[in-house]
Structure 1
Amino acid sequence: MIEDFPFYLSLIVAIVLLIMLANKIKVAYPVLLVIAGLGISFIPGIPMIHIDPELIFIIFLPPLLYEAAWAISWKELWKWRRIISSFAFVVVFLTAISVAFFANYFIPGFSLALGFLLGGIVSPPDAVSASAILKFVNVPKRMSSILEGESLLNDASSLIIFRFAMIAVATGQFIWSDAALSFSWMLVGGIGIGLLIGFIFMKGHKYLPTDANMDTILTIVAPYVMYIAAEEVHSSGVLAVVSGGLLLSNNRHRFLSTSSRLRGLNVWESLAFVLNGLVFLIIGLALPEITSGLEGVGLSDAIIYGLMVTGVLVVVRILSAYGAVLITLVARNYIPVADTRSPGLKAPIVLGWTGMRGVVSLAAALSIPTHLYAGGPAFPQRNLILFITFIVILTTLLVQGLTLPYLIKKIKLPTFNDYLPDEEAEDLIKRQIAKHTADHITNNHSEILGRSAFLKQIHENLKGKADVETEVKLTSEVKDVYLDVLSTQRAWLLDQKHNDDVNEDVIKKYLMKIDLEEARILLIH
């Protein structure tokens, strides 16, 4: 292990250089990293990378899910909850069923249970690759929100299917009543444990004498505690991390100080950057290990099976996207829906094409035991399942990943006009927060306003009558008043998260500006 340390260190450097190149040539970095991993794996003398699935599930998955939960908009998640839930659970289940029947019929030696196992492995689209690709194209906010929300939950549903399929393969039977109870516990237990642990961490941040460094360490520890605690009681660790992360994310301004929020943001951006880079590079580097175990079936046949399964995944997802639209158009006549307008025929194509698979599928396939039980027969079709999973990941990343930006530009999606354009929203927020702040200073700090040139400049500027020229030195009294003004602005902005006309990203942008200004003022002595 120690002798290979320079190699692992060079991988980190390679990730940085490759992502720089990806940004330069406008290609989603997951695609470039997988290709680079494949290329590196063919270099003579390169150490063979053995991927421990526990490394993915324990080390990589919790922080990546947690970071995604902190970044997503709860308002958007709730607004599109029906379609997100349908894609994260119903579509994943339909995909697994479709793959099961296809594999049972077309792939020799595959029972329905083995097909269902394969379906559970390859059914969840990867969050990171889709979000990375969407950065290079302009898509409606609703579509990015649906994709982000789906990616938070579909890993949980696919891993639940995977567990049940493993039991069915090992025991040769599937008891629906037991499966229904287990499924309910995994959902309820995972969400409940995540919320409970998240609440405990929230109170710890708030009442313990922590500083920015301690708060950041606690945010890194939290997803691991949530995941491990849920898995120990056989519930969903993924749902625990997602639910706990959403709870903490939406209350971050209540229990984290300004310095803790800013410090944590920088640390988490760097951590997610490295982890995301590693998981996609690992996919490419895994080729030698995967192909070395492929026995009993020709390489060309295995590739064909993988491509055929990929085709099933793409077709089922596109049909599901159109099915979701049709169901929504019917349901709007009976229940409230997020939008009663028809999205047309173009949006479902893009939604269906954003089905790139990733490292969770690879880790699930690798976690299949080599034997059905200790000392028992070999697990049937394990190596072929692993190879098909690799082909699915590689094909969807390269084909869909490279063509998605072109597809989006070609079909010209409707704008939907869910929110005001960002420029108008920013102008609206700027004017409203200026009026609110000026009124607050007048009503609550009129006495100090008459004595402080700094506050007077701020007040006049808010009214559009002067430019602010910040004094180098502030009295402690004026400093406290200004911090109170910033807190008032923050509270007002947090209330605007419920404004249906304003994209929450605009609100987050202004909240960040207030945090930066508050941090600057706190540094002035």
Structure 2
Amino acid sequence: MTGLVHSSVFIWLLLLTSVVAMLGRFIKIPYTIALVLTGLFVGYLKLLPGVHLEPEVLFAIFLPPLLFEAGINIHLEPLKKNWKIITALALLGTVLSTFVVGYTLHILLGLQLLLALLFGAIISPTDPISVLAIFKRLGVAKRLSVIVEAESLFNDGIAVILFSVIQGILITGTFSLAQSELAFIRTFFGGALVGIAIGAAASRITQEFDDHLLEITLTTITAFGSYMAAEGFHVSGVISVVAASLVVGNYGMKRGMTPVSRLAVLSFWEYAAFVANSLVFLLVGLEMTNISFRENLISVVIAVIAVLLGRAFSIYGLSGVLNRFGLSIPRNYQHVLVWSGLRGALSMAMVLGLEASIPERSFLIPVTFGVVLFSLVAQGLTIEPLINKLGLTTTNEELRDYQNLLGESMALRSALAEIDRHVHMGNVSQIARDDAVKSLLERQKEIDDLIKELHLNNEVIIATERDKAGKIVLTAQRNALQEAARNGIMDYTMAAKIIGDLENDHNEKHND
């Protein structure tokens, strides 16, 4: 990334992301899409000349923290419950999409088949970050969120492997189906083994000490080290980071870290992913201003249609097969999965990283950028209306009314407690107190009746309240155990183990 190493440029980029994040509170569009549009604006005005999205930097610097942060936050329980669906969509879906897109472009644009398949692999990885933010805000079912996030996490690695295999065939000019399949399997499972080994080693080491700074450092080494080690062994660095993060998140952090350390580690990675993601999307917008779409506009339109066709074919087709085997994917889930398959920086990095000897490289770059731009803007800005239309949001009118009533009730109870405190201190007479609280008590009775009515008749509210109550109970138990350990009433290791068991029980109940 030319010039990014210069500290002033880095600070300017961070400042831009901060401004967009602050403005995002007032503008109702996803933060990542706002960053892309900002990058386009800044790029066209040439306010940051010489700043580019270099594929080597994205793969080695930005990708590991993004993958690692996503992986450590995925719980194994919902993953295990949906692993067959996730595997089918990530593995078979990516391969199927690659071939559908490739053959469509081969037929409609007359592109050489291998080059068309290479484009299919380049454009196959999905980027769900902005979509997941919308899911969280709208209260979309956790099962759909898990499927979308996990599919994206794994299809990134599979797409990169397909890209490497097809590009190798183009460069060498030789093709063997058996050798290609073997290379794919070796790269995928080799990366997984490297990641599991490094993640397990890091998890074991964390059990030997309790220092959140050391544990943050160790997880940082794990994230970047698993990528570098896998690439050194010529296997998938992306799959390696994903595997390492799942091991650390579901084993190392629960068994080897105290709750305090775990919170510090999660906070660090949340920030690291925020910075990396912000810079990547801003650079995506900046990079797009260096590409001329005018000469390839028809090709971009055809490519967009091909990509949507490939995504639809893989999602609807595989869902139909999975549903026949009892692995239910509701129809409205399928529609969201198709439209939420946004393309992002990984596709751009792969196409920019194409070997110079690849024919039609100058054609593939603008077409890829055009598809990514359409995906981020057109699909990204319309996914929320689609979710609302399909009835997948739980943020309904009654829930909002219920939350407003709870807020007013809390304010009334606080006011009553405060005036009673002043009566006890002698600042207010009992007669004045009774006169002041009469209307408050009448309103409190009205609110209590309304809350009770809503709570008994709305399934969404019942589920929301059950989840909230579970979190309150878990927090109280965690705090009590930590206090007991600090005061020497019980062993700290035993307290950490009990807290881990309580958290696992809570996640099992609330991650369906």
What's the TM-score bracket when you normalise by the shorter of the two chains? 0.7 to 0.9
User: In the alignment, does 2:463 pair up with 1:421?
Assistant: yes
Report SS of the residue matched to 2:49.
Answer: coil
Give the TM-score of the pair, scaled to structure 1: 0.78
What residue is the counterpart of 1:326 in the other structure? Answer: 320
Q: Is residue 135 from structure 1 mapped to residue 121 from structure 2 by the alignment?
A: no
| 1:10 corresponding residue in structure 2 | 12
Q: 1:289 to 1:428 in 2, by over 3 A?
A: closer
What is the CA–CA distance in structure 1 between the aligned matches of 2:306 and 2:23, rounded to whole Å?
33
Seen in structure 2, the aligned counterparts of structure 1 residues 253 and 477 have a Cα distance that, compared at 3 Å, is closer
Aligned to 1:237: 237
Q: How big is the shift at 1:8?
A: 2.9
Aligned equivalent of 1:354:
340
Match of 1:286, SS state, is helix
How does 1:251-262 map onto structure 2 within 5 Å? 251=251, 252-262=253-263
Q: Tell me how far apart the structure 1 counterparts of residues 137 and 365 of structure 2 sit (CA, whole Å).
A: 31
Residue type of the alignment partner of 1:493? L
Mapping for residues 160-179 of structure 1, pairs under 5 Å: 160-179=161-180
Where 2:359 maps in the other structure, the secondary structure is coil
Unmatched 5+ residue regions in structure 1? 292-298, 373-378, 439-454, 460-473, 506-525
Moved more, 230-239 or 482-491: 482-491
2:72–2:249 Cα contact (<8 Å) kept: yes
Counterpart in 1 of 2:411?
none
Kindly provide the amino acid, as one letter, of the partner of residue 122 in structure 2. I
**Equivalent residues of 2:339, 2:379 under 8 A apart:** yes
Contact 1:30 1:132 in 2 (8 A): no
1:103 deviates by 1.9
Counterpart amino acid of residue 499 in structure 2 = R
2:17–2:35: 8 Å Cα contact kept in structure 1? yes
What is the identity, as a one-letter code, of the residue corresponding to 1:421?
A: A
Alpha-carbon distance between aligned partners in 1 of 2:250 and 2:380, rounded to the nearest angstrom: 31
RMSD between superposed Cα atoms in Å:
3.0
One-letter code of the match for 2:355? P
- What letter corresponds to residue 190 of structure 1 in structure 2? G
Asked if the contact 1:307/1:395 (under 8 Å) is kept, the reply is no
Q: Looking at both structures, which has the greater relative contact order when contacts are Cα pairs under 8 Å and sequence separation is at least 6?
A: 2
Query: Which residue of structure 2 aligns with residue 98 of structure 1?
Result: 100
Using the alignment, how far apart are the partners of 1:479 and 1:311 within structure 2? Answer: 65
List alignment gaps of at least 5 residues for structure 2.
395-458
* Deviation at residue 426 of structure 1 after TM alignment: 4.0
Q: Deviations over 1:325-355 (max 9, x none)?
A: 32122112xxxx4x5xx62x32211111001
Q: Which shows bigger deviation, 194-203 or 250-259? A: 250-259
- 1:372-521 matches, within 5 Å, as 372=357, 379-413=358-392, 421-427=463-469, 478-481=487-490, 487=496, 489-496=498-505, 499=508, 502-504=509-511
Q: Secondary structure at the match of 1:139?
A: coil
Higher helix proportion: 2
Summarize deviations over 1:398-444 as a string: whole Å, max 9, x none: 000000001111121388x999813214435767998xx79xxxxxx
Kindly indicate whether the alpha-carbon contact (under 8 Å) linking 1:27 and 1:133 is maintained by their aligned counterparts in 2: no
> What's the counterpart of residue 78 of structure 2?
76
- Amino acid aligned to 2:374: T
Instruction: Look up the match of 2:122.
Output: 121
Cα 1:32–1:426 change in 2 (3 A) is closer
Change (3 A) 1:45 1:146: closer
| Other structure's SS at 2:51 match | coil
Shift of 1:484: 8.2
Name the structure 1 match of 2:349: 363
In structure 1, how many angstroms separate the alpha carbons of the residues matched to 2:484 and 2:333? 57
Give the Cα–Cα distance (whole angstroms) in 2 for the partners of residues 202 and 68 of structure 1: 17
The amino acid of 1:100's aligned partner reads G
| 1:306 matched residue in structure 2 | 300
Aligned residues: 445
Matches of 1:14 and 1:426 in 2, distance apart?
A: 36
* Residues 477 and 261 of structure 1: CA distance in aligned 2, closer, same or farther (over 3 Å): closer
CA-CA distance at 1:475 after TM superposition? 10
Determine if the alignment matches structure 1 residue 64 to structure 2 residue 66: yes
Q: Distance in 2 between the 1:432 and 1:4 partners?
A: 46
Q: Distance in 2 between matches of 1:122 and 1:185?
A: 23
> Against the structure 1 CA distance between its residues 3 and 327, is the aligned structure 2 distance closer, same or farther, given a 3 Å change threshold?
closer
- Match status 1:191 vs 2:198: no
Q: Which amino acid aligns with 2:388?
A: K
Q: CA-to-partner distance for each residue in 1:448-505, whole Å, 9 max, x for gaps?
A: xxxxxxx9xx89xxxxxxxxxxxxxx99995434968954751441441574xx2149
Distance 1:414 1:40 in 2: 35
C-alpha change, 1:120 and 1:488, in structure 2 (3 Å) is closer
Cα gap change, 1:431 to 1:2, in 2 (>3 Å) = closer
Paired with 1:2 and 1:128, the residues of 2 have a C-alpha distance of 24
What SS is found at the alignment partner of 2:301? helix
> C-alpha separation between the residues in 1 aligned to 2:4 and 2:40?
23
